[in-house]
Amino acid sequence: MDYKILIDASHGGEDIGYSSSFYKAKEANLELALILSKRLSDFKIANQLIRESDETLSYKQRTDNIKELIKGDKKYVLIVIDSGNIDNMVYYSLGDDSNFAQMLAKEINGHIIQKRLPLNPIQDYHYIRGIDKVLTLLVNLKLEDRESVNSKLKELGEGIVKAITTFLNIEYSKEVKEGEYKVEKGDTLWTIKKKFNITIEDLKELNNMKDNTVKVGSIIKISDVNEEEEDMKVTALKEEVKNKETLHRVAEGETLYMIANKYNVTTQDIRSPNNLLEEEVSPGVLLLIINN
């Protein structure tokens, strides 16, 4: 029976949630939800975001939205994402098995817990747990400082994805980076060679291959990214910009919103000087950040 993953980013809109000097829970939760959705799609795992933007949703609206998505014989897993200043924890419903919760906790270096309603100990504390036909887990994540938020969200998202693939008996593989390719069913070195205009000899040399065999799901290099040369270019460019300007190289998984938040500017402040027509940015691209 197929599973569908429902992802609910807690808070939103007027409901900020936990906040500190460097991030708001509502924003971090949504950013992680988007990262998670993208990675699940890489594995062709059906998924649905409950909140896709910075909107205010009441408890009833969230629950109603979730119930509307539950159809037919498909099984559902609901991952509720929240962040704050407490340790990484995975809450699971009173009537559910702890196996999946333990998988999640292991991957995010946290622990599992159940919580009961004080006035009615036979009921779950969290309003959204206990929905029929839905395995629900509330994942609470700790984000410690401004510098680590972006990388931490990526790391935690990858941990959650790894736990989900393990739970669904799907072979896990790391995210495909720039200059890499994930081998699909029917692929051979010949088809990959034609797809990326590269010789078979170069493919074998890049990947230290002894024969022409490629495994479905494996990630192979299709180009040689010279990081030392790129770093030299960055250093040279940095010397040309003024003190009030900064060059930022987009990391894997970063969005324009995340970058703007890091430098305390708006996304439009980044788009204008870089002539960006869309919100999406590719990993490895250098952006000029002007701090007014």
pLDDT (tens digit, 9 = 90+) per residue, 192-206? 988 888 889 989 989
Q: Is 105 left (phi over 0), alpha (psi -120 to 50) or beta?
A: alpha
CATH topology of domain 227-290: Membrane-bound Lytic Murein Transglycosylase D; Chain A (3.10.350)
Rg of the chain over all Cα atoms, to the nearest angstrom: 22
User: Is there a contact between 217 and 172 (Cβ–Cβ < 8 Å)?
Assistant: no
227/173: higher pLDDT:
173
Q: Give the chain's mean pLDDT.
A: 85
Q: Give me the torsion for CA of 104, 92, 33, 283, rounded to 10°.
A: -10
Report which secondary-structure segment, H or E, holds 92: strand 89-92
CA 56 to CA 147: how far, in whole Å? 28
Mean pLDDT across 183-198:
89
CA 229 to CA 217: how far, in whole Å? 30
For the cut 80, the answer to whether the pLDDT of residue 130 exceeds it is no
Mean pLDDT across 51-62:
90
Q: Any idea which of 53-67, 86-100, 253-267 has the lowest mean pLDDT?
A: 253-267
Tell me the three state secondary structure of residue 162.
Answer: helix
Which candidate, 257, 236, 252, 242, places its Cα nearest to that of 285? 252
**Digit-coded pLDDT (tens) for 145-170:** 665 677 788 889 999 999 999 999 99
Q: How confident is the model at residue 241 (pLDDT cuts 50, 70, 90)?
A: very low
Mean pLDDT across 22-39:
90
Mean pLDDT across 3-22:
90
Which candidate, 216, 244, 196, 261, places its Cα nearest to that of 28? 261
Mean pLDDT across 192-221:
88
Spell out the CATH class of 180-221: alpha beta
CA 155 to CA 117: how far, in whole Å? 32
Mean pLDDT across 22-41:
91
Q: Residue 45 carries which side chain, given as an amino acid letter?
A: I
Mean pLDDT across 28-34:
92
CA 264 to CA 258: how far, in whole Å? 10
* Look-up of token digits 């990388």: 151
User: Is there a contact between 289 and 266 (Cβ–Cβ < 8 Å)?
Assistant: no
- Give the model's pLDDT for residue 105: 95
- Token pair, residue 77, equals 């897993």
For the cut 50, the answer to whether the pLDDT of residue 22 exceeds it is yes
**Domain spanning 3-167, CATH architecture:** 3-Layer(aba) Sandwich (3.40)
- Give the model's pLDDT for residue 273: 81
**Digit-coded pLDDT (tens) for 67-114:** 888 887 789 999 999 998 888 999 998 888 899 999 999 999 999 999
- Give the model's pLDDT for residue 236: 54
- % residues pLDDT > 70 (the chain): 89
User: Is there a contact between 84 and 25 (Cβ–Cβ < 8 Å)?
Assistant: yes
Numbered ranges of CATH 3.10.350.10 in the chain? 180-221, 227-290
Q: Residue 278 carries which side chain, given as an amino acid letter?
A: E
216/32: higher pLDDT:
32
Chain mean position to CA 225: 24
Numbered ranges of CATH 3.40.630.40 in the chain? 3-167
